[in-house]
Amino acid sequence: MEDAYRWTRENTGLKRETAVLITAVQDEALDIKCHKAKILHMTNDPKCRMCKEKDETVAHIVSVPQHSRKLVQDKT
């Protein structure tokens, strides 16, 4: 994961937080509730654990700055 993160930072000019999030998505290291509910059938609740309004998907997390910041803080 470190190599992918380093390559992303050095070759794209993305902010650290964005590079961490992209690397986590690529490595399937995110615990996304919608995936757990609809694909793995490990839970019945796909709603976002932060806002409780929309399904927790990668797109939802990335589209809400407060969500992606929290996720990055939890991963570092």
- Model pLDDT for residues 21-46, shown as the tens digit of each residue: 777 766 666 678 888 888 889 999 99
Structural domains counted in the chain: 1
If pLDDT is split at 50, 70 and 90, which confidence band does 47 have?
very high
Of 70, 49, 53, 57, which Cα lies nearest the Cα of 25? 57
More reliable by pLDDT, 12 or 49: 49
Query: 49 is in which domain, residue-wise?
Result: 2-75
User: Residues 6 or more apart from 56 whose CB is under 8 A from it?
Assistant: 32, 33, 34, 46, 47, 48, 49
The residue written with tokens 């589209």 in the block is 63
Question: Which residue(s) pair with 47 in the sheet?
Answer: 55
Question: Which residue(s) pair with 55 in the sheet?
Answer: 47
